[in-house]
Chains A and B, each alone.
Chain A
């Protein structure tokens, strides 16, 4: 099958939008990964045709999966509601209890457990009768832009905006399918949250998350289009992949994910999800100190640095504080910070250099020379630093020579 049929057997028009069944609990269902992927693309906004194009499987394979998903109650056709699906499933179950397809019954039963638990509701007539928009379109994801009113369209995509139309006409060496897939995914970037973007439920585990990310990377990473003329699609691919990576990074980090969940549920990121630890507070103080230093408020910056260093005396803070104190001509403080840093990390040439600078400011040239020599003796990956150290040393020695004469 090389063209998407319209209408599609059992599913309706290609431009119809499928909705996920809010009553359906994906976590309890043994989908294979292809089915899971297809199901994850169903969002009540994307048309059947777009879904078929976007997943990139052979067309009939995707259609077969969509049919299976419909069979087990995972999705709703326009006009269907959870109750009507239940009705259908119940009928199917009654049939399989006596019919030849008995073997399938146990799984069907397990899959619809949650749905059948609510059979007390009145069953509406099945079929594609319109309306019932009150059902939330999101299965598990916490927030979701509302589905736009449905318009029938014979195009493969919803009407293109100006930018997209220009792109479609641009001279590129991409297949029509690729172009549509990229445009559809790019639209998704604008309206989907990270879960929807990656097509995973909120309770997704690390492994499934990783799989989803890999699958999408394979579809959208710019290297997959290497050597092709991509025109405006090139930057879009980069943008898509970068957002996918961002989404994956956030969702695979427990803490960031928790914050993100709160953000999308409550609409705003709370300042702190958990009680802030001392080190985190120190980091914040340090960051504020840096900002003050950058804007020239050295005194304030030094206060903040001092506080940060007290909470968390790490060399990065110390050497920064030393530099700032040097700039503010507060040499005693500078020396204190720098020697503490050098004590903590005697093998870091960059820190030794700060100490040498402090000594130079004090006029303790011999000390500076000594420190620079030992810094140069350390092995360092940093070529530029090595060169800087040598220049410093030469200057110090020249100065010493001058004084001796």
Chain B
């Protein structure tokens, strides 16, 4: 089968990265600015224009309320959830309740769903790749934190659809990192991947050998990351400032955004230095026409004091995971660090302490995940590939049984594909139907788990309770799709569903978004076209400009010459106007005239030189 290009996208909380396998080698694709990662930020500018990536980041301070960052922390979450509550008063943008118990963000009076905002980032990554390849890409493997549940995964898939890419697989970030680590190397060993990024923490254990990457166990916290470290610094700054000035900086959105900026910067600097200055002049005005400044310093030790419990928590999760998987620390032959936060010395130290070995330095913490996603993409579509990923289901699956309990049928960390059945009986006399609630989670109580779907098996034969037996079979396919089949043992009556978690969007909403976004694609394409054209025109203008004094000297002696110079000026002005107005039609018209002028100029100059 001819293999088509599949891109791998690491859709991060803070940064996103895209990679592709070229001639058997995975490579990261730099964006227009030459950066290998792009900030996961979306903003709506004053003129209503959508800004994504570095441009969005650059204007974040002056447009804080309309700039979204860390949207991944909200994707697939329910409005009432703890994670959403925690974000409500710490984010400078407006988070509002969506129609399906989901979360939306309000930017300049327009309401956006989270998958939509994520789609804009994915689309940016798609565009970056297409510019690089000079070819369209249609398929992608996207990574998510290992501990994401089905709702969050589904929401990410929806984002892909809105962005106009076919998401052929969602894989876990730490797994992707391990793929990139082991790709093309003849190794046989157990490894741990410790991934602390901007928003999430994941730990995965894998057994690698003979080109097979087997996930043994995976765990994490989808709400623990660099953002929380930043928050600790912000809290500290706000507190100190309040003590000194009796003013609450949280009240001011712009101040909050500046604090966030400076907190992150300080945190990163303290990975290399022992102490750093924090300066925010004119941070807030007191209403009496007087401005206050924030000026202080933060040491590495202080930062470590502010955040050690966060680091502890990651170590706890590691211990728990190893324990549950029945793997000894000594069996782990390599620890791979992934995510920007693992540059923090305290973290490297704790990881080394815990595992009793220095972590591997051979992978790039910002790029491995995307590289791994690209590898999995090409492993799927390319027959020649010798890589096989054996993944697990991160959460247990089961159904609700009498008493409101959750009966697990497939335990977490089971290798997929997998299936499992269990026979249940009726609980009432003459019961003719059963409702099957499909749940995901680890809690004993059914209601404390995520509801994935439900269906009713009707037409059971009448019998005293306990006599009718129903066999329920769960299946999880290699791509994580859950299906459930219920079967009356005696009559063979059967019913089944494919369970899709809700992402917070209806099918209708998604297709509307897809349509709306198609227009955007056209717009972007046009702009790219225009930019290319502009580039050419500017080159001609430059050339004309450089010849102008010389030519003017030579020909302005005659009336005809003066006229020609005037005309040339006006053509140049027109071109500049067209560029300023981004008027593609006028630009192509005037470019012809420009070309003629340039030729004329060149002719004049060369003639004089020859004579």
**Hey, which bits of chain A sit against chain B, CB under 8 A?**
210-211, 214-215, 217-218, 221-224, 226-228, 238, 241-242, 245, 290, 293-296, 316, 319-320, 323-324, 327, 350, 353, 379-388, 390
Contacts and interface: CB of A to CB of B under 8 A. Distances in A.
A295 B450 CA distance: 25
Contacts of B168: 226
Contacts of B80: 383, 386-387, 390
Contact of A221 (B388, B403, B450): B388
B120 interface: no
B207 A210 contact: yes
B444 A350 contact: yes
A386 B443 CA distance: 12
B453 interface: no
A381 B449 CA distance: 11
Interface in B190-230: 207, 209-212, 214, 221-223
A10 B359 CA distance: 55
Going nearest first, the 6 A-B pairs with the smallest beta carbon separation are A383-B81, A386-B82, A387-B80, A214-B212, A226-B380, A385-B448
B401 A223 contact: no
A214 B214 CA distance: 9
A388 B448 contact: yes
Interface in B407-461: 415, 417-419, 425, 427, 441-445, 447-451
Contacts of B386: 218
Contact of B210 (A215, A227, A295): A215
B278 interface: no
A238 B209 contact: no
A227 B378 CA distance: 12
Nearest to A385: B448
A223 B82 CA distance: 37
A242 B447 CA distance: 30
Contact of A227 (B83, B381, B419): B381
Contact of A217 (B390, B403, B427, B445): B390
A226 B381 contact: yes
Q: How large is the interface on B (under 10, 10 to 19, 20 to 34, 35 or more residues)?
A: 35 or more
Contact of A387 (B81, B401, B445): B81
Contacts, number: 114
A382 B441 contact: yes
A294 B380 contact: no
B388 to A, nearest CB: 5
Contacts of B214: 214
Contacts of A210: 207, 209
Contacts of B475: 238
B477 A222 contact: yes
A241 B417 contact: yes
B419 A242 contact: yes
Nearest to B444: A320
Nearest to A383: B81
Given A384-B449, A388-B448, 16 more contacts: A214-B210, A215-B210, A221-B478, A227-B1, A227-B381, A238-B475, A245-B415, A293-B403, A295-B466, A319-B444, A350-B443, A350-B444, A379-B82, A383-B82, A386-B80, A386-B82
Nearest to B208: A214
Given A293-B403, A350-B445, A384 B78 contact: yes
Contacts of A384: 78, 81, 441, 447-451
A227 B379 CA distance: 11
Given A294-B402, A295-B466, A350-B444, A386 B390 contact: no
B380 A227 contact: yes
- Name, among B78, B85, B168, B403, the residue most crowded by chain A CB atoms within 10 Å (CB to CB): B403
Contacts of B450: 383-384
Given A211-B209, A241-B417, A381-B221, A323 B403 contact: yes
A316 B478 CA distance: 31
Contacts of A324: 403
Contact of B403 (A214, A218, A294, A319): A294
B77 interface: yes
B93 interface: no
A218 B381 contact: no
